[in-house]
A = this chain, B = another copy of it.
């Protein structure tokens, strides 16, 4: 229990919840604890999102595609994390991506109606979730308004920052080069020049079918260097 407490307290959703309160809740509430083996699927894109799923130990590979299937984005999420907290409510209450265990992992889940009761009984959870969701909306507008040149560097930065998690690693874009420059609306030479520049700055690396992000935090600096307020 002590280690679960330590883990959960690192999540923004549990900010301000006391140790005593959390231990009481873990006793009282129907949390489900699950284990997955390496490569096992945890959720599929368009599965109904009926539970709030917490990653307690290990890592998860998250894979999403553009709707035409031509550009794939993958990232590794690390414990502790919450899977798609912005898909439990709203119109699209389905997962936006496929999620797979990387090695053996431990998860905890709570069904939506139990979580709603929890938010009523303990408003700190409601406030924390409202903060998380509001921040996503704000961050997105800030990214858009902070663009200065609209070039590929900025658009790539915006795309990655919005679609990946702050602590994600191994962020990779897989696409044929022609699909990639078409998706970002630039010419082939513009794509190759930008990728070469960003590689030299050690922000990305790339091969013919893959772009890997080496330094996600450097992407934030690309969106107008003088704005400090795009924090996550």
Contact = CB atoms under 8 A, between A and B. Distances in A.
B140 A140 contact: yes
Contacts of A186: 150, 185
Contacts of A92: 135, 138, 142, 229
B137 A127 contact: no
Nearest to A86: B137
Interface of A is mostly: helix
Interface string A190-232: 0000000000000000000000000000000000100101010
A98 B173 CA distance: 38
A183 interface: yes
Contacts of A120: 120, 123, 126
Given A120-B120, A151-B185, A184-B150, A131 B89 contact: yes
Interface residues of A, number: 55
A144 B162 contact: yes
A185 B152 contact: yes
A125 to B, nearest CB: 10
Interface string A57-75: 0000000111110000000
23 contacts: A66-B145, A66-B146, A68-B224, A86-B138, A89-B127, A89-B130, A89-B134, A90-B130, A92-B135, A92-B138, A92-B142, A96-B138, A116-B127, A119-B123, A120-B123, A126-B126, A137-B140, A140-B140, A144-B162, A144-B163, A150-B185, A155-B155, A155-B185
A141 B163 contact: yes
A137 B147 contact: no
A172 to B, nearest CB: 16
Interface string A110-124: 000000100110010
Contacts of A48: none
A155 B147 CA distance: 12
Contacts of A150: 155, 182-186
Contacts of A142: 92
A103 interface: no
A86 B149 CA distance: 27
Contacts of A66: 145-148
A41 B84 CA distance: 38
